[in-house]
Chain A
Amino acid sequence: MIPTELGTENVGKLLKQYAMPAIVAMAAASLYNMVDSIFIGQGVGPMAIAGLAVTFPLMNLSTAFGTLVGVGAATLISMLLGQKNYYMANRVLGNVVMLNVAIGVFVTVVGLVFLDPILYFFGASEVTIPYAREYMVIILAANIITHLYYGLNGVVRASGLPRKAMLATLLAVGLNTVLDPIFIFVLDMGIRGAAIATVLAQIVALVWITKILCDKNHVLHFSREVFRFDMKIAQRSLSIGMAPFLMNVASCFVVILINRQLQFHGGDMAIGAYGIINRIVFLFVMLNLGFTQGMQPIAGYNYGAKQYDRVRKVLKLTIICATITTTLGFLFGEIIPGTIVSLFTRDQSLRELSAHALRIDVALFPLVGFQIVVSNFFQCIGYVNKAIFLSLSRQLLFLLPFLIIFPRLWGTDGVWWSMPASDFVAAVIALVMIIRLMKNFGKDEKAILS
């Protein structure tokens, strides 16, 4: 049953309760990437950071294929478990594994066969491609493991064990952090070491998750009969996963464009700088997504109950939390950009370039928290199309034209400036849309009273 405390309990307390686990999970996910970048930058060098940045779109694409299966499967399983339909839920589980393996193999084969042309297209140069290639060969070879790990982790979460799913994530992050320096510094394996550490950490986490799903006492567990392919299950999970998949593909294209523009106007160093600031910005954006995940059940329920006061309260509170977070990012980025980027590299010129880029990139960052919360808010209350539009506006619709025009005028700096410019326009649009929505709430409230 939907807990009715959503309509009565203190909004701040609810938000804390619902957002906390999501924030931890998001922080862990972004730290995972950050740690890799830091060790690669410190242990291998500035060109390796650039090589890593060139692989971002490919990694995005691989994640996209993971969500294609994972999101739909988790949705279906949680729905089926809600109806105590354990038989079907287990069959979905079996089909998730089969789909993940099939899609994983496909990505691996296509990725490995066309690796060099893909990397060049994504902005690699003669200098950076050895690093990108070395890293990606291992990541692509282990692609099935990554997909299974993320897919099954989502299933474990959906099956009522969110704590275990989170522990698995933390386990992978922790192991990666421990293994990275061993492989990079002690064994001197270079960027390849970072890839091996990532894969090994995921293997261990995957083994643990598999063990959870082999427990016959858990409502979801593997058995021989669940591994029967079912066209209907496959179709349904893929159709649910299609939207997040396309979203990831879109962000992949944007990163390709950024990389190519940087390569054209600024060369490898500029791409390296992007590799660094991207990781920093990503952390703050992910934290915001944690807040919005916590807001979702609260805003949804109270909107459904027409308790607009509480809807407004939770929206306001989430916006405040998110704005504080991004403002912190803004302050760090403006006041001590050099210190932050020095985590990633010892190279003086890369440091200067990254610090300069970070300063521009976070220039309007305080607005970003607001923008992200508002676009997610529209989704919470069922305005899916508006949510899609708002989310794409910042990351694609407005960014794209700026990314094409600005660099022609101002070169590399134009690339950096296109990001705050897009943040600004997107925030204004979000503001207009949320004010109009709030007016509608007011009208509805009056209608209820009269």
Chain B
Amino acid sequence: MERQIIITLGRRIGAGGLEIASKLAERLGVKVYDKELIKIAARHSGISADLFEKNDERPIPKGRFARFFEQDYTQENAISEDGLFRTQSDIIRQLADEGSGIFVGRCADYVLRDREGMLSVFITADKADRIARIMEKDGLTAREAEKYIDQGERRRTSYYNYYTFKEWGDSASYDLCLNSSRFGIDGCVDCIIEMLGK
């Protein structure tokens, strides 16, 4: 491997982000880190994957009341939301230290923001296309798919904004924002690869 490639990929639900990530990985010969980040984080920290799963790209469920006792229920406690997020971020940084990778979601663009040469990408698509993709993927009706997208994105926004102090999907925080309805999956992949060297 001649050159380290680090791409972080934010995506709206149903925009085909994961498909783009895996095609990218195939063409570039690098790994995709999506859900398996959880397994890696669990393996490294010794903490059960269920807990990471429960906290995965979700808002802080008991955020308002979690810090009930005055003592800081923070990262000191490995299984608090903040503690789990910190472990996961440490794993993302470690993986980026070790080699190339495409990181999907999990605030990776924020966690890796200081990496030189990191390319942060956000994938969006027209609403109709996103609904259609979810309908096909999960076998839902249009209405169910729309609800699924709205709820999921609300969770994702809350999670992202909580940890990064930024706005999820705000174009100013990404290097490249692509509309997969406009360019197609392959078009997006081509574009990202072309921009990689710049």
Residues of chain A touching chain B, judged by Cβ–Cβ distance below 8 Å, are 1-2, 4, 6-7, 22, 67, 71-72, 74-75, 78-80, 82-85, 88, 158, 232, 239-244, 247, 289, 292-293, 296-297, 300-301, 303-306, 376, 379-382, 384-385, 387-388, 391
Contact = CB atoms under 8 A, between A and B. Distances in A.
A306 B74 CA distance: 20
A315 to B, nearest CB: 15
A293 B66 CA distance: 15
Interface of B: 45-48, 51, 62-80, 82-83, 85-87, 89-90, 110-111, 114, 163, 165
A388 B73 contact: no
A423 to B, nearest CB: 19
9 contacts: A7-B46, A71-B72, A75-B82, A79-B75, A240-B67, A296-B77, A304-B45, A379-B73, A388-B65
A242 B66 CA distance: 10
Contact of B70 (A7, A244, A305, A380): A244
B61 to A, nearest CB: 9
A298 to B, nearest CB: 9
Given A79-B163, A381-B79, A382-B79, A305 B46 contact: yes
Contacts of B67: 71-72, 75, 240-241, 243-244
In terms of DSSP, what is the predominant structure of the interface of chain B?
loop
Given A71-B67, A242-B64, A2 B73 contact: no
B51 A304 contact: yes
Nearest to B165: A88
Contacts of B62: 384-385
B71 A289 contact: yes
A296 B48 contact: no
Nearest to A300: B77
B165 A75 contact: no
Contacts of B71: 22, 289, 292-293, 296
Contacts of A4: 45-46
Given A2-B47, A301-B79, 16 more contacts: A2-B78, A74-B74, A75-B67, A80-B165, A82-B75, A82-B89, A85-B165, A239-B63, A243-B68, A247-B69, A293-B71, A300-B76, A300-B80, A305-B46, A305-B48, A379-B69
Contact of B90 (A1, A243, A292): A1
A98 to B, nearest CB: 17
Nearest to B52: A304
Given A78-B75, A82-B75, A305-B46, A391 B68 contact: yes
